[in-house]
DNA sequence: ATTGATGCAAATCGTTTGCATTTCA
DNA sequence: TGAAATGCAAACGATTTGCATCAAT
């Protein structure tokens, strides 16, 4: 992903294109479901004086503009995801590891299922599946 | 749910049965997906001098012993659930409301689906579905 | 009696906020 | 230029921790 690609994404949303925003967008895409702290650490290597407050503010703006997503975790720390295509998540039950899980067959299955299912007084907008389990390979951190 | 029922649950896990633990277990069952703060507020009406630290510690113990569950939310505040039977959650996309969702047909569907599906190097232990959408009735708070 | 639970207050940590300064459109 | 973004540091709020005291087994 080139820097220009990120510039375009920002511009398309009518957001001001700043080096901080580009760097943050890039960081979220480069890292695997980073916390805000990870993003800050990553960016500070090349851009030492970015403020933590700025990072939090920008992350919020990016989420509001559908450029990144917030990921729920069992713990209380928020994590971010640069992939906007609909997907689910694999959670390691014994570590902090999270991986993306793409499965169009599952999406179709769920779509069909909930189309014919009427839940009391609830209108479904989105369905997310969390698979909790164990990764066979050792966790990498 | 009687107090004795909660006493039994604690004793069965080999936990010491204390009035605080009973009150917290009761609170989580009486309230709808309460935050720790809600639990504290609820208990303090009848038991004014329970310490916040104690409530957090007890909630953690109860989760570890599978007497209650932690519920993920979009926000960073943890919430608790006294229902241990496998179930999913309905999340209101525009409020903090969370409701339990029971659906054995869905559970079966998912079970069958993932039994024949092999995910790279991942062993599934549990599958949780989050339905995000809107409740037809006005939210009650 | 002994082990573990509680209360209290201070500490921690992720996140938010206010405001003066700087930057992008 | 002017609105919006940044940096900084202080404030916040949920949760945790240490430790002396107290209660359940």
pLDDT in tens, B106-125: 999 999 999 989 897 899 99
pLDDT score, position A78: 74
List all nucleotides in chain C with at least one atom under 7 A from a protein Cβ: 4-10, 14-18, 23-25
Can you count the helices (H) and strands (E) in chain A? 5, 5
**pLDDT digits 0-9 by tens, B23-48:** 999 999 999 889 999 999 999 998 98
Cα separation of A20 and A5, whole Å? 15
pLDDT score, position B1: 65
- Convert A7-40 into a string of H (helix), E (strand) and C (coil): HHHHHHCCCCCCHHHHHHHHHHHHCCCCEHHHHH
Dihedral of the CA atoms B9, B15, B19, B23 (nearest 10)?
A: -50
Residue B24 three-state SS: helix
Give the residue from B84, B77, B66 showing the smallest Cα distance to B1. B84
With CA of B56 and C1' of each nucleotide, the nearest comes out as D15
Beta carbons within 8 Å of B13's beta carbon, 6+ residues apart: B65, B66, B67
Are residues A24 and A62 in contact, defined by beta-carbon separation less than 8 angstroms? Answer: yes
pLDDT score, position A123: 94
Cα separation of A7 and A4, whole Å? 5
Contact residues, chain A, for B37 at CB < 8 Å: none
A8 touches strand C (CB under 7 A): no
Give the residue from A68, A52, A58, A54 showing the smallest Cα distance to A15. A58
pLDDT score, position B56: 95
- pLDDT category at B76 given cuts 50, 70, 90 is low
pTM: predicted TM-score of the whole model, two decimal places: 0.76
Q: What is the pLDDT along chain A (141 residues), one digit of tens a residue?
A: 688 899 999 999 999 999 999 999 999 999 988 999 999 999 999 898 999 999 999 999 999 999 999 886 655 567 888 787 889 999 888 777 888 999 999 999 999 999 989 897 899 999 999 998 999 875 544
pLDDT score, position A97: 86
Cα separation of A10 and B103, whole Å? 41
Interface of B with A in 33-62 (CB under 8 A): none
A132 touches chain B (CB under 8 A): yes
B17 touches strand C (CB under 7 A): no
């Amino acid at each position: 992903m080139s820097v220009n690609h990120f510039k375009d994404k920002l511009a398309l949303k009518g957001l001001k294109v700043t080096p901080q925003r580009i760097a943050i967008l890039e960081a979220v895409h480069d890292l695997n479901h980073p916390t805000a702290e990870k993003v800050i650490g990553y960016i500070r290597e090349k851009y030492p004086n970015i403020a933590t407050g700025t990072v939090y503010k920008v992350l919020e703006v990016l989420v509001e503009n559908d450029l990144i997503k917030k990921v729920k975790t069992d713990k209380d720390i928020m994590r971010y995801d640069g992939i906007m295509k609909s997907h689910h998540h694999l959670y390691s039950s014994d570590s902090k590891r999270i991986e993306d899980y793409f499965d169009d067959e599952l999406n179709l299955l769920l779509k069909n299922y909930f189309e014919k299912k009427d839940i009391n007084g609830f209108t479904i907008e989105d369905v997310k599946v969390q698979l909790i389990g164990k990764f066979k390979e050792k966790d990498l951190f």
